[in-house]
Structure 1
Amino acid sequence: MWIKNLIVYLGDEPFSFSVAELDEILSSNRCQPCGSQTLRSEGFVPPLKGQDPMAYAVDGFIYCTYQETSRLLPGPVIKELLDEKVEYIQEEEGRKVGRKEKAELKEQITFELMPRAFTRSRRTNLIIDTQRKRVLVDASSATRAEEVVACLRKAIGTLPVAYPAPNSAPYTSFSNWLRDTKLLPEGFTLGDRCELKGTKDEGAAVKFTAVDLGQEEILAHLETGMVVTRINLAWQDNLELDVNDKLEIKRIKALDLLQENIDSLDADDAVAELEARISLQGSVLREALDGLFGYFEVNPA
């Protein structure tokens, strides 16, 4: 287990369910295999294959896994068969195939191909931080994270969490951090990459990688009116991460101090190792988010 990306949802009230209750809820909302005429199914699965628990709890964190299973019907394959069918009708019956008939033919082809289509499953892990009333989704896109939270909300019946709403525009602070590192939230230091965009010309953008973020070339872009929309940071000696102007966390990487602790875990006991990883990374993420969200005075949107 390692959370690589993070989209956070915040709640105002304590979560109303216990670990045992959530485990039962998720068990009743398992991701089922796609039927012969089902394009997609979603639900939850045990985080550890071969194990029964649907949720693991440690140090105020609950760890669980969402899964989406979908049938793969490549568009080019459907289009090729549709073109062949349309051409056959036009040649044999000497008439033009209209838009409505094409749509019906496409639907028929899809129906016929469905039972033979391969299925693909995608898993997304999430951590519910009961102490901070946060849901942490390991997703690189907001769309994916919303699918996960929506499924969890539907399973539970209610889940009053929302996207974080900062008190000030993050890109303004990001830009100021480059100008003066003393303005960084406590515990954070600048990394070596960032992205800037123009405020006047929407197409203007520039990326810097593996550089000193305080160099004059970057600061000169700020003077032209560009702002920092994504910045690489280090949290103490534990984590390296990127933060964008929506406060989404990307490219989370363990630094030496945390990596040493991870490497020392007992890999012979899968459950013990998973729980230890949840505790280790969860605690560090909790502290980092406390610092970051506290700086921006974040509330649920």
Structure 2
Amino acid sequence: MIVPAAFGSRKGENKYPTHRDPQQVPQFLPDPCPILRNERLSRLSHFATVASLSFLYGGAFSRRPLLGTCFMWIKNLVVFVGEEVFPFSVAELDETLDQNRCQPCGSQTLRTEGFVPPLKGQDPMVYAVDGFIYCTYQETSRLLPGPVIKELLDEKVEHIQDEEGRKVGRKEKADLQEQITFELMPRAFTRSRRTSLLIDTERKRVMVDASSASRAEEVVACLRKAIGTLPVAYPAPNSAPYTSFSNWLKDTKLLPEGFTLGDRCELKGTKDEGAAVKFTAVDLGQEEILAHLETGMVATRINLAWQDSLELDINDKLEIKRIKALDLLQENIDAMDADDAVAELQARISLQGNVLREALDGLFGYFEVNPA
């Protein structure tokens, strides 16, 4: 299998190889599961392996980089806030996460979770810079496509009905499905998903690079379990964010200091009809948007820029999406030394961490955020 190039690849080299090249995909597949003797079942078992491979390698046209590359850029944020000083030092957290590493899935294990070193080939489980602690959560799961299991189950049910002349009840079907899963599990490929955490010890915030709250909750729950206690919760604003978003669209003077309107927003009706309108790549001060607001719709998501450094979307749950570096920040990123992976990671933590800290200070200060 092709191993990803080091983070410090020379300029012009492909640091993130994709899987479109057939030479990068294994040219063989394991034999069908010997437990399933029926020719039809064996063929489907073989299909399960192929489906797992396709999912694992991202499909023929995937441009997703291999897991384990050390590029650090947080794209989404679900933020948890606390009132107490975090009950650990950097050294203690490093040792704790080392004792709670994500382990490989056993032959009959569907899923494991834990923590891994942010940089492959390096020992540290955490990197600390400017009051930030950066670490990496990993979930490893076996790939058992539901349609494959269903087709195998249908074949077994049909075989029993033909051979024994009877119907298969609900409980027996459940037992057969469990048997099929048990037989396929050892041959199923595994896929790992990594999620970055940035802990701001100065502001008592845990920031999870997740696009959904449920994913962020899984990560924080795993961290809390490893540490023993983690006194953080969702941010609780003093006023409804959608009211402020709507007011910002009506009057930009009401924006928090340092922020300007971007070019995207989402409006929703406040009644039960569920009306919703999305605007993209437009002037957010245009009359059409203001007209919708006059009818009673409210802004539930809005695109903002922070001091020519960051562009982001924020929704009415104060979740941050689509974080993008603007010119001022991008110039600093481009100037980093890519020959030293550790130094570059630390520089990225400091650079993005401090900008996010300032942006969140502005937003959370505006909404007078406290832990829920």
Q: TM-score range by the shorter chain?
A: over 0.9
- Displacement of 1:216 after TM fit? 0.3
- Displacement of 1:205 after TM fit? 0.5
- Displacement of 1:20 after TM fit? 0.5
The SS at the match of 2:124 is: coil
The Cα offsets for residues 118-143 of structure 1, whole Å up to 9 and x where unpaired, read as 10000000100000000000000000
The Cα offsets for residues 42-71 of structure 1, whole Å up to 9 and x where unpaired, read as 000000011000000000000000000000
The Cα offsets for residues 210-266 of structure 1, whole Å up to 9 and x where unpaired, read as 100000000000011110000000000100000000000000000000000000000
Equivalent-residue separation in structure 1 for 2:234 and 2:206 (angstroms):
10
Equivalent-residue separation in structure 1 for 2:269 and 2:87 (angstroms):
44
The Cα offsets for residues 101-132 of structure 1, whole Å up to 9 and x where unpaired, read as 00000000000000000100000001000000
The SS at the match of 2:365 is: helix
Check if 1:84 corresponds to 2:150: no
Equivalent-residue separation in structure 2 for 1:193 and 1:158 (angstroms):
39
Equivalent-residue separation in structure 1 for 2:274 and 2:232 (angstroms):
34
Equivalent-residue separation in structure 1 for 2:227 and 2:253 (angstroms):
44
Equivalent-residue separation in structure 1 for 2:158 and 2:109 (angstroms):
29
Equivalent-residue separation in structure 2 for 1:95 and 1:237 (angstroms):
71
Equivalent-residue separation in structure 1 for 2:368 and 2:336 (angstroms):
35
1:121 aligned residue (147, 168, 192): 192
The Cα offsets for residues 13-67 of structure 1, whole Å up to 9 and x where unpaired, read as 0111010000000000000000000000000000001100000000000000000
- Displacement of 1:201 after TM fit? 3.5
Equivalent-residue separation in structure 2 for 1:264 and 1:251 (angstroms):
23
**Aligned equivalent of 1:112:** 183
Equivalent-residue separation in structure 2 for 1:107 and 1:173 (angstroms):
51
Equivalent-residue separation in structure 1 for 2:345 and 2:197 (angstroms):
13
Equivalent-residue separation in structure 2 for 1:223 and 1:189 (angstroms):
22
Check if 1:212 corresponds to 2:283: yes
Q: Which runs of 5+ in 1 are unaligned?
A: none
Aligned residues: CA RMSD: 0.5
- Displacement of 1:271 after TM fit? 0.3
Compare 147-156 and 193-202 and name the one that shifted more.
Answer: 193-202
Equivalent-residue separation in structure 2 for 1:202 and 1:147 (angstroms):
33
**Aligned equivalent of 2:108:** 37
The Cα offsets for residues 158-208 of structure 1, whole Å up to 9 and x where unpaired, read as 001000000000000000000000000000000000000011144210100
Equivalent-residue separation in structure 1 for 2:313 and 2:306 (angstroms):
11
Equivalent-residue separation in structure 2 for 1:142 and 1:16 (angstroms):
24
Compare 198-207 and 151-160 and name the one that shifted more.
Answer: 198-207
Equivalenced residue count is: 301
Equivalent-residue separation in structure 2 for 1:201 and 1:101 (angstroms):
44
**Aligned equivalent of 1:295:** 366
2:202 aligned residue (112, 119, 131): 131
Larger RCO, structure (CA 8 Å, separation 6 or more): 1
Equivalent-residue separation in structure 1 for 2:86 and 2:167 (angstroms):
60
Change (3 A) 1:202 1:119: farther
* Higher strand proportion: 1
Change (3 A) 1:43 1:202: farther
Equivalent-residue separation in structure 2 for 1:4 and 1:186 (angstroms):
23
Equivalent-residue separation in structure 2 for 1:221 and 1:125 (angstroms):
38
After TM superposition, the runs of 4+ consecutive aligned structure 1 residues lying more than 6 A away are none
Equivalent-residue separation in structure 2 for 1:16 and 1:158 (angstroms):
8
